[in-house]
Amino acid sequence: MKPTNSLRWGLATVLCGAALALRAASAPAPSSPPPAAVPPTTVPAATTQLGAELAAVAAHIPGAHAGDLRTTPIPGIYEYRQGAELVYVTADGRYGFAGDLYRLADRNNLSDARRRELRLELLRAVPESSMVVFAPAQTKYTITVFTDVDCAYCRALHKQIADYNRLGVKVRYLFFPRTGPNTESWSKAEQVWCSADRQAALTQAKLGVALKTAVCKPNPVADDYALGRAIGLTGTPGIVTESGELLPGYAPPDELVQELQRDKLQDKPPG
C-alpha cells in the first residue's frame, strides 16, 4: 500500500486577559537557546545516479518501474523482477532472457539465491494471523505451505500433520486453489477461512466433508492465490522453507525433516 501525502497542519493560539496579566506580573523566564541547526539530508551522488540509470532502463520496458530492476555483476545487464521470477534485460530494454546466473569461480547460483530472497520478502508481508497454522510445542523448523483443499497430495500431507508437529515442524497454510476463482475448490477454501475453528474446518474439508459455513468477505484466498503465482508456484502442495527454497510436492515427515536440516545449512539470503 502506498503511503499518502495528504497531511494537514494546523496551529491555533488562544490568549486571554488573565493569562497576559499573570505573565506581566511574573518574572521573565530565562530564554532557551535556539535549537541547533540540523544539516540537510543529502542523497549520495552514487545513489542518485543509480536510480536514474535504473529508471532509464525501466522506461524502455512496458509496465516496469525502477524498483523492479537492479544491476548484476555483468555490465550492461540488469535483473528485472516480477514477483519472485527473474528476467535479465539489456540496458536499452529491447532484449531479455530467462535463466540462472552463476558465479563460475565458486559455482554459486546467484539467481537461485535471489529468488529465495524474494520469496521471503513476499512472505514477510503476510502475518501469521492471516494463515492457518499448526504449530508444535517446540518449533525447530517452519514451513509455509500453499495448499488446495481438493489436492490429493495436499490431503496426504495434512493427514500426517501430527507427525510433522511431533518432529518440530510448524506448518503455516496459505490457500492456493489450483482451479482458480469461482470454482468449487476456491469456495471451499473461503469456507475454511470463514469457519469459527479454521484448523478443524481445514481438516474436515481435506477429508471430503462438506462445510456448512457461509462465505465471508473479506477473506485472504484471493491474496494467497496471487502470492502463490508471484513466487512461481506451479502445483500444490508448494512448500517454502525458512531459507526461501521452494519445494514442489509432498514429502513424508521424516524425509521432509531431512530436507529441512539440509536447508538450515544453506547460506541464508540477506534480509
Q: Is 151 a catalytic residue?
A: yes
Residue reference for cell 519445494:
247
The catalytically annotated residue of 150, 154, 172, 224 is: 154
The catalytically annotated residue of 114, 115, 148, 155 is: 148
Q: Is 197 a catalytic residue?
A: no
Q: Is 154 a catalytic residue?
A: yes
With a CB cutoff of 8 Å and minimum separation 6, the contacts of 142 are 169, 170, 172, 242
**C-alpha dihedral, 227 to 249 to 114 to 87, nearest 10°:** -70
Phi/psi for 126 (5° steps) reads -110, 115
> What cell does 111 get?
539467481
Q: Where are the beta strands (DSSP E) in 149-231?
A: 169-175
Rounded to whole angstroms, how far apart are CA atoms 45 and 167? 52
Rounded to whole angstroms, how far apart are CA atoms 222 and 91? 35
DSSP code per residue over 71-118: E-SSTTEEEEEETTEEEEEETTSS-EE-S--EETTTTEEHHHHHHHHH
The catalytically annotated residue of 151, 155, 224, 263 is: 151
In the structure, how many helices (H) and strands (E) does the chain have? 9, 11
SS3 assignment, position 260: helix
The catalytically annotated residue of 115, 116, 155, 178 is: 178
Q: Is 148 a catalytic residue?
A: yes
User: Which residues belong to the active site?
Assistant: 148, 151, 154, 178
